[in-house]
Amino acid sequence: MAVEARNIIPRMGYGTWGRLGDEGVEAMLAALGVGYRHLDTAQGYGTEPMVGEALRRSGLSRHEVFVTTKIDPDNYRPGKLAPSLRRSLDQLGVDMVDLTLLHWPSPRGELPLAVYLDQLVAAHQAGLTRLIGVSNFTIALLDEAERRLGPGRIATNQIELNPLFKNDKVAAECRRRGILVTCYLPIAHGSLAGNPRLEAIGARHGASVEQVALAWELAKGYAAIPTSSRRERIASNFAATRLHLPPDDIAAIDALADGPRGIAPDWGPAWDA
């Protein structure tokens, strides 16, 4: 499954967090209009109905748009995951999603991983999702998941990753296991502006620092899911797919010092240092 995932998951996706209501639908339509073919949503975002509406209004056929959703931890208890995913399908207006992720490990480890991972596998076997994956999983949790499932079952691990927080340990483990890394916060909540190294690289290529960050992530073999409500920024982010950084620029970004993690709830897992 992991090899298949590398081939079929579009490397540039449009993140739908915060893209609510009619404005959210219009932003998604703008993304699809400039070339995005991957919409990333989640039960916890409240944007599944907007994604469904954008799919219907886009004029694109279902197989042209890759759709990812994520199971909210509130739906991890026995017997809850598959019904929640069926509700997601109803809101999205599709018979199957392309990828379903566990959005977080069970908060504070309240539920054993087997309780909700096995339900995700059952949902896959029932034909509710084409691929399965995880999000915010540490190396220890990847170990536990692979012990239970065997290698090659986890398509991706969606983790916080950008030039100012490279999450190297987890990313390296994912690469070793053949698990695609999908970067959330790939442009670091807009905090890249003013970084001298990124600004200099961007100036050499006539690119924004956000485009440089996204091009670096794609060059590393990762997928990225930036978001914006602004049409010009949506188009600018997608244009990063046409920016090819030379090895020296990639190495210079690799050498940037890491700042703090941007999203670290107190109920989250024991992060890898």
182-217 burial: b if 16+ Cβ within 10 Å, else e: bbbbbbbeeebeebeebeebbeeeebbbbbbbbbbb
Catalytic residue among 36, 45, 76, 222: 45
* 70/133 Cα distance (integer angstroms): 9
**What is the number of alpha carbons within 13 Å of residue 272 lying toward its C-beta?**
19
Q: Dump strand ranges (E) for the chain.
A: 14-15, 38-40, 66-71, 97-102, 129-135, 156-160, 180-184, 223-224
The answer to whether 15 touches 214, Cβ cutoff 8 Å, is: no
Residue 8: strand, helix, or coil: helix
Q: Which helix (H) or strand (E) holds 124?
A: helix 113-125
Q: Is 45 among the catalytic positions?
A: yes
Neighbours of 148 (CB within 10 A): 13
Residues marked active site are found at 45
